[in-house]
Every structure is written in structure tokens, then in C-alpha cells.
Amino acid sequence: MSIKTEYALEAHALVKNYEGGLIPAVKGASLRLKHERIYALMGPSGCGKSTLLNLIGTLDTAENGTVLYEGKKVETWRSLAYFRREYIGFVFQSHHLLPVLTLRENVETALLFRTTLNQEQPMQERVKEILEEMGLAHRMDALASNVSGGERQRTAIARALVSNPRLILADEPTGNVDSETSERIMRALRKRISQTGATALIATHDPNVSAYADTLLLMKDGKIEAIENANSVF
Amino acid sequence: MQEIFLSGFRYAVRNILRSWLRATLTVISVALAISLYAFLTAMTASYNQQMSSIIRKGDVDIIVQSKFSASPLSSSIRPGQVKKIEASPEIKSSMPVVIGKIRTQKENNIIYVFGLKNYKQIAQKLGLTLLDGKPYTVGKDEILMASKLMHILAYRIGSRFPVTNDLNMTIVGAYSSWISMLNSTLICSAENARRILRRTDKTNMMFLTLKNPTHTGRLMKEIQTNYPDLIAIKSGEFSSHIGIIKNLAYILNIVAWSALLSAVAILMNTFLVAVNERTQEIGILGAIGWPKSMILSIFTAESILLAGTGGIIGLLMASGILAYIRSVYVSLRFYLPDSLGISIWAMSMGMSLVVGVAGAMIPAMLAANKPIAKALKDVH
């Protein structure tokens, strides 16, 4: 995978309001994310972290501002759906799995439309590999509705990583799991990023998670207030 | 491509099974609608086909009746017109028919009276089967009575039946017919029918057989030019010209289409609820980059599966109902086909699929167009 630009992602002056402008969520947030790094987005509840992730991940549209992915505006991609499946891996606070599908099938949903990737390595093989990596080899054929919260969240991480995304956006990925699972998830994330050269932006309150980050982005009142090297904090 | 199809199909099937009770009720509703549609469509088609085929078998080329009559009952051809038409050198044979209605003196029930010049000659054309007794003799006060009517009125062959306050006639035979009207009817000679109806100059219809059937068009044109108040109908097109049958066909069609629309509404309701319940899942699929078309296809596939299953069950139900009615209500056999037939199966299954697509379209589009960030926050 060739890296063409200095930054994996650049966001400039992003603005998002809700309720017809009555509730400002993001007020001119700007950030730059380098390749092969983990960024922890921290800040108090309601400061706009999730909204910022949604804007960056094209799950929501900004009223103002621009987002560049490897130097290119998102509008230049074939479609937003194409961009999301080709470029981004999402991890949500709540696992957001499809309850009627097995863990294996849930992970496969992220690969179904990745024809080129599936030609490189068969989909089933790739899915099995990542589920093993997440310690879920024995639960692959269990329905998502029948497994524990930790197993669901690990499956959600597997789904986000299986397609080797260039950018991983995670919103409180360890918010609903115990510390052991949290460690496991972060270790897997770190390993994957070093293997694939991806970039991760993780919104979190958890210092254990931010300990895995290279850089901390501190958000307050809808803006990035400070950027700190993680080593200087922890 | 195959993997995408299989995964989509698997997901659709499991979603159906997830709400199995709702799915079952939806399938039952669609099945009822499709069975009604198939049954009524088969009945209408059969009715028209039987009528056309009997008229074809009866070797009738032209049927003449009043131009603006809604049914043969209200049609009237004057005696002079009957004579002149019969005098045409093109005509091989003519069968004037007198039709009217009377009321029974005891129960005040309506009974239709058919006056035929020659019973034997026209029986086949009207689908009449003499079940008991003998045909009436022209010149005598004799009548044939529909066996069903005879049973209801508790008369027997040989009984004297009061056709008017001051006139009794002898029932000499009992018959059955595939035309419902004829199953509550008396049949007698044209002269007796005029006496019973007190309309000495009345002829309702004429069945004409031509010497040369290729001249049908020419004679039809001639009749309509000479007698503007009459209409000459090609025998094959007769059923579509009889107002009452035409209206019946309209009603049956309206009922059949209403049934289909109900099925669409039921499916749409089911899927609007499903879309509402699965908003978060729709958001997930959108977030991981599934194309809108695929999300739309999932809901459409679920709807088609339900509608298709309902369609098959509905057709089996319609076949069962048909077989049951044919075995229990013998007099209705004349209306009904022996079986639904391939064309009805194909058409009804096609309609099931159309119902499936139509029922899912709006909910599926709503699902596919939900803003992802908003959908992901939705909790049920």
C-alpha cells in the first residue's frame, strides 16, 4: 500500500449544529492525522467527539469545513458508500452487530463488496484469521445475539479491521467491556495498525486506551483545544 | 457476486424468521388475497370461455338484441323486425328468444321465463341439460322448470304451476344450466312465454346461423343500418356485450384487484414496522459501506419471499376451494373451470411478485435513505 501524502486525513474548520442551529456540536474543529499512528480524541461528554468522528467518517455531513483523505476531498470518490467500505473501519461504542447473523457472517459483511481484496485472499480465510486473532475462533458460528458483550465488541473490532482500512475510527471502543477485553482489543488494534500502516482516531475517556495512542487530541466545546504527544502525558 | 447474493438472501431469510409470527400473519394475508384473486380471475376467464365455446359449438354466427339494453332481459325486438331479419336470404336458421320475469304467488320470488321457439335446437346453445322428464310440446300449456327452482318451490314433474293468477301450466321436465339466471327459470315455447309475460309482441333476442359464415360482417352491418335500435353481435363477442356479464366481470375484477391492493398494503405495513425496528441495523450496513441498492434489495427480497410464499399457499388454497365448491355445489360446476390452469398459476405468481415488490418499495427506499448517523442512534 503506497502512501502518497504526509497526512492520512486533514479536517479544516468543521462545523455541525443540531436542531436547526440551536445546538452547536462541532464549532470549527481542525485536525491532521499522520499515517501509522494512533490518535486518542479525548474530552468531556458532549464536547462533540462522536459528531466529529461521524463527520470525518462521512456518516454525517458538515455544514462547513472540508475533509481531505490522503489529500483528496471525499466528493472526488465514486460514492460515500464506496469510500466508507474501501477506506474506513468503524468501531462503535455499542458493538452494532447484526443479531441474526453469526460472528463470522457479521465480519463478512465488511468484505462482501471488496472484490479486489477478496481476490488477494479468499474472504472466508481472511475472516477466520482475524477472528482467531481476536480469540473468537471457537465462537465463529454462534449468532451475535447469543454471545457475551466482550465477544460482540471483539467481533465488531474484527469487522472494522478485516478489510485493512486506511483509517480506523473508533468511538469509545472499550466503553462497554472489562479491562481484560479492553487490553486485548487495544493490543489487536495496535498490532494491526503496525502491520497495515493504517491510522486510528479513537474517541475515549479511558486512560488505558489513550495509553496506546501516539498522540492525544483534546477536544472542548466543539473544537480541538490541544494536541499532545502521548509520551509527554503518560 | 454469488457471495453477495447468498449473504443477502441469508440475511433476508433470517430477518423473516426473527419475526416469525408477523411473517406468518403476513403470509396468510397475502395467501388469502392471492387465493381470492386467482379464484375470481379463473372464474371470470372460465365464464367467458364457456360462453364463447358454447356459442361456437351451437353454430350461432350472429346474436341480435336491442342496442342499449343492459341485459337480454331489457332487450326488445319488434315482431316486424323479427320477420324482416328472418326473411334475409343469408340466414340458414333463426331462433328468437323471449325473456321476462314473473313473481311466484306464494313466496313472491322472482322467476325468469324463457320462451324458445324450439327447445332442442337451442338447449345446447344455452348449456341446458334435461335432468328429468321431457321437453315441452309447442301448442300445449307445458313448461320446463330448473331443477334447483323446482326443489326450492317443492314442485314435481306433472304438477300444475300457476304462472299467472289465472293461468296454470304443467311442469313436464327439469333441467340444469351453467347460466345462473337459467337455474331460477321456467322454459316454455315462445308463444306461451308471451302469454305468461302478457307481451304479445315481445322478442328479446335472436340467434342467427348463416348459410355462409364468411358473410357475418356484411349481415351485421346490414342489420345495424336497417335497424338502428338493434345491435348485431358476433357470437364470439357476445359475452362481452351482455351488460350483466360485463358488469359481473367488472365487479369480479374490482374485487380481485382490491384483494391484491390489500396484500400490498399489508406487506407495506409489515415492512414499515420492520424498517422502524431495524433502523439501527440499516445504519450499521450504511456505515460499513453497503450500497443503498443492496439495502433496498434486502427489504425487497424479504417482501418477495413473503409474497411468493403467500402466493404459492394462496394458489393451493384457491385450488382446494375450487375442488370443494365443484364437489359440493354441483350447479356451480358450469361456472367453474376444472382446475386453475397454468395461465392462472403463472399470472397469480407474477402478481405475488409484483405485490412483493410494490409492498416493499416505499419502506425499502425509506430504509436506504435514512441518514446513517441518525439511524445508528436509533434504539428500539
CATH number reported for the structural domain that contains residue A218 in this entry? 3.40.50.300
Q: Which amino acid is at B316?
A: L
Above 90 in pLDDT, residue A92?
A: no
Give the pLDDT score at B275.
85
Give the pLDDT score at B172.
95
Is A1 within the bounds of a domain?
no
Yes or no, beta carbons of B371 and A81 under 8 Å apart: no
Establish if B287 touches chain A: CB-CB under 8 angstroms: yes
Above 50 in pLDDT, residue A232?
A: no
Establish if A137 touches chain B: CB-CB under 8 angstroms: no
Above 90 in pLDDT, residue A206?
A: no
Establish if B376 touches chain A: CB-CB under 8 angstroms: yes
Give the pLDDT score at A233.
38
* Facing residue for B15 by CB, picked from A100, A113, A118: A100
Yes or no, beta carbons of B373 and A54 under 8 Å apart: yes
Mean pLDDT, rounded, for A28-44: 90
Question: To 10 degrees, the CA torsion angle through B9, B15, B20, B22?
Answer: -110
Give the pLDDT score at B193.
93
* Facing residue for B18 by CB, picked from A83, A100, A118: A100
Ordered by start, the domain boundaries in chain B are 2-52+245-377, 68-228
Establish if B18 touches chain A: CB-CB under 8 angstroms: yes
Is A2 within the bounds of a domain?
no
d(CA A229, CA B158): 115
Give the pLDDT score at B378.
65
Give the pLDDT score at A102.
93
State how far the alpha carbon of B186 is from the alpha carbons of A11, B100, B129, B193, in Å. Answer: 92, 10, 14, 9
d(CA B19, CA B364): 17
Give the pLDDT score at B314.
95
How do A167-171 and A88-91 pair as beta strands?
parallel
How many percent of chain B have pLDDT more than 70? 88
Spatial contact of A125 and B5, defined as CB atoms under 8 Å apart = no
Supply the mean pLDDT for chain B: 84
Residues of chain B contacting residue A96, judged by C-beta atoms under 8 Å apart: 280, 283-284, 287, 376
* Facing residue for A81 by CB, picked from B17, B281, B290: B290
d(CA B47, CA B53): 10
Give the pLDDT score at B299.
87
Establish if A86 touches chain B: CB-CB under 8 angstroms: yes
State pLDDT tens for residues A118-130.
667 788 888 999 9
Whole domain around residue A53: which residue ranges? 7-233
> How far A90 CA sits from the closest chain B CA (Å)?
7
Is A35 within the bounds of a domain?
yes
d(CA B240, CA B51): 10
- In this predicted structure, which of A92-96, A109-113, B175-179 has the lowest mean pLDDT? B175-179
Yes or no, beta carbons of A84 and B288 under 8 Å apart: yes
- In this predicted structure, which of A31-40, A85-94, A223-232, B278-287 has the lowest mean pLDDT? A223-232
Complex ipTM value: 0.87
Domains of chain A: total:
1
Residues of chain A contacting residue B283, judged by C-beta atoms under 8 Å apart: 96
* Facing residue for A85 by CB, picked from B4, B289, B373: B289
Q: Residues in chain B with pLDDT < 70?
A: 1, 47-59, 70, 121, 124-126, 178-181, 236, 238-246, 329-335, 378-380
How many percent of chain A have pLDDT more than 70? 94
SS (H, E, C) chain A: CCCCCCEEEEEEEEEEEECCCCEEEEEEEEEEEECCCEEEEECCCCCCHHHHHHHHCCCCCCCEEEEEECCEEHHHCCCHHHHHHHHEEEECCCCCCCCCCEHHHHHHCCCCCCHHHHHHCCHHHHHHHHHHHCCCHHHCCCEHHHCCHHHHHHHHHHHHHCCCCCEEEEECCCCCCCHHHHHHHHHHHHHHHHHHCCEEEEECCCHHHHCCCCEEEEEECCEEEEEEEHHHHC
> How far A84 CA sits from the closest chain B CA (Å)?
5
Q: Which amino acid is at A187?
A: R
Tell me the pLDDT band of A234, cut-offs 50, 70 and 90: very low
* Facing residue for A90 by CB, picked from B3, B17, B287: B287
Which of A100, A121, A167 would best serve as a mutation to test chain B binding (most B beta carbons within 10 A)? Answer: A100
Q: Any idea what DSSP says for residue A121?
A: S
